[in-house]
Amino acid sequence: MSYRLEKFASTMQQALGEILSQESLNPEFKLAAILRVLPAPDLKRATVFIACPAARAAAVLQQLQRSRGFIKKQLARKMILRYMPELEFTLDTGADLENLLGPAPRPAPDHETADR
């Protein structure tokens, strides 16, 4: 990803986090964490990866999809762009996979330092 796209994604991630946690009145949005934003090269679309408790994931995702217009309007106030990208919210399965697998195994102790 180019520097421009990385900067755009970082700025959008921060702005979306502020909108969901502070400006929205929907309590479902406070459960969601924005993990990353993947913009299209032409900046017309952006995929927003979120993480939330598994029990509420479907409800949170449905609420986010319904509130796309509100979120896009709030985002337009924070980011000055010629075209505001279409937002697509999706659950980040990488976080679920990490929780399912558990913590990474620790390396075996070195024999020289274990004797001391």
- Domains of the chain, residue spans: 3-96
Burial classification of residue 5, based on how many CB atoms lie within 10 Å of its CB (0-12 exposed, 13-18 middle, 19 or more buried): middle
Q: Which of the following CATH numbers is that of domain 3-96: 3.30.300.30, 3.30.390.10, 1.20.59.20, 3.30.300.20?
A: 3.30.300.20
pTM of the model: 0.76
- The predicted-structure confidence for 49-99, as pLDDT tens digits, reads as follows 999 888 888 899 999 999 999 999 999 999 888 889 999 999 987 755 555
Structure tokens at 96: 């679920």
